[in-house]
């Protein structure tokens, strides 16, 4: 009589499965291409590889910036759109804070999302064709910006969207100046080499909870202290029209914004077509497609 031995599912990045958090080594490269395969030079690629992010002082033209700002204003004043589930509206002010899948909602931002200045860099870093896993327009107004606690995007994409490996990048194009005082993104440079395995179990419809109140998928304070001691914290300041590229697993967050100066940006996540999402690694079903796409068609 032979007994069948059940094979455990291989998961290099287990999370939301144990009662104690853990720091795990990354088992994927951060850079898959080289200087010959795109616009990023060797030195900048090496810096991205080491830090998990890179900054571009000026990515779009002044005219493009004005056009994107006008589109942001247009979207913000579209009352019909506020009823769309992909649009996050601040209850108190009735202002649009986030628009998911903005590359499907707005032809203007659709063009930005397939712009070679972004896509060529994404292909170069990921070493393959890419598709858009998520896009988002963010508007953090002055005086009342609430910020976001530390998190690794990959942890969520892996657990809830079924992204198998660390082979995705986020591009954030700044529509306002990011100063040291208006809630600019903070990153722990080098933290992308470590995966923080989080505790707890993903509840159903977890994505509906306001991010501030989410505890599941949030790194524990001890792990964050270790990473911050080891890597320090960089504040990503820079002018409107600039951009930064963030590795999927780079630990990042932002403080609140009490200044009068708003911060808006467009965020586009490119995933390698060789890393298409599967079943979620720690959730009963994938999040809605506007949060994690299941359309793996490469960007042309």
- Backbone phi, then psi, for 178, in 5-degree steps? -105, 110
Q: CB nearer to a copy of itself: give 214 or 255.
A: 255
CA 55 to chain CA mean position, Å: 15
Q: CB nearer to a copy of itself: give 185 or 280.
A: 185
Q: CB nearer to a copy of itself: give 98 or 259.
A: 259
Distance CA 300, CA 285 (A): 29
Distance CA 292, CA 277 (A): 9
Footprint of a copy of itself (CB under 8 A): 142-143, 147, 149-150, 179-181, 183, 186, 221, 224-225, 228-229, 233, 235, 253-261
Q: CB nearer to a copy of itself: give 121 or 231.
A: 231
CB of 220 to a copy of itself, least distance (A): 10
**Percent helix, percent strand, percent coil in the chain, to nearest 5:** 30, 25, 50
Which is nearest to 122 in space by CA: 132, 114, 130? 130
CB of 181 to a copy of itself, least distance (A): 5
CB of 225 to a copy of itself, least distance (A): 4
Q: CB nearer to a copy of itself: give 53 or 290.
A: 53
Contact between 275 and 220 under an 8 Å Cβ cutoff? The reply is no
Which is nearest to 250 in space by CA: 51, 88, 99, 78? 51
CB of 170 to a copy of itself, least distance (A): 19
CB of 142 to a copy of itself, least distance (A): 8
Distance CA 291, CA 276 (A): 14
CB of 282 to a copy of itself, least distance (A): 24
Which is nearest to 102 in space by CA: 113, 94, 89, 91? 113
Tell me the CA distances in angstroms from 176 to 58, 66, 144, 207, 240, one per residue in order.
Answer: 12, 11, 16, 27, 4
Q: CB nearer to a copy of itself: give 67 or 228.
A: 228
């Amino acid at each position: 009589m032979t007994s069948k031995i059940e094979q455990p599912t291989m998961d290099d990045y287990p999370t939301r499965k144990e009662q104690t958090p853990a720091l795990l080594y990354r088992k994927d490269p951060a850079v898959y291409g080289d200087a010959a395969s795109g616009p990023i030079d060797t030195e900048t690629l090496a810096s991205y590889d080491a830090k998990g992010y890179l900054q571009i002082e000026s990515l779009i033209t002044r005219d493009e910036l004005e056009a994107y700002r006008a589109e942001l204003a247009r979207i913000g004043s579209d009352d019909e759109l506020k009823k769309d589930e992909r649009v996050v509206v601040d209850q108190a002010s009735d202002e649009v804070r986030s628009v998911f899948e903005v590359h499907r909602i707005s032809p203007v931002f659709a063009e930005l999302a397939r712009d070679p200045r972004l896509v060529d860099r994404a292909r170069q870093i990921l070493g393959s064709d890419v598709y858009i896993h998520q896009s988002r327009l963010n508007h953090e107004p002055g005086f009342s910006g609430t910020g976001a606690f530390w998190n690794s995007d990959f942890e969520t994409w892996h657990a809830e969207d079924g992204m198998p490996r660390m082979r995705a990048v986020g591009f954030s194009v700044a529509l306002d100046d990011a100063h040291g005082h208006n809630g600019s993104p903070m990153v722990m440079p080098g933290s992308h080499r470590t995966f923080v395995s989080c505790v707890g179990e993903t509840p159903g419809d977890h994505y509906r909870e306001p991010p501030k109140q989410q505890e599941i998928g949030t790194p524990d304070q001890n792990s964050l202290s270790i990473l911050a001691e080891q890597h320090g914290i960089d504040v990503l300041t820079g002018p409107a029209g600039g951009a930064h590229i963030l590795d999927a697993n780079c630990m990042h967050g932002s403080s609140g914004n009490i200044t009068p100066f708003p911060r808006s940006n467009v965020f586009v996540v490119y995933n390698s077509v060789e890393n298409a999402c599967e079943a979620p690694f720690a959730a009963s079903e994938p999040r809605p497609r506007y949060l994690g796409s299941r359309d793996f068609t490469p960007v042309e």
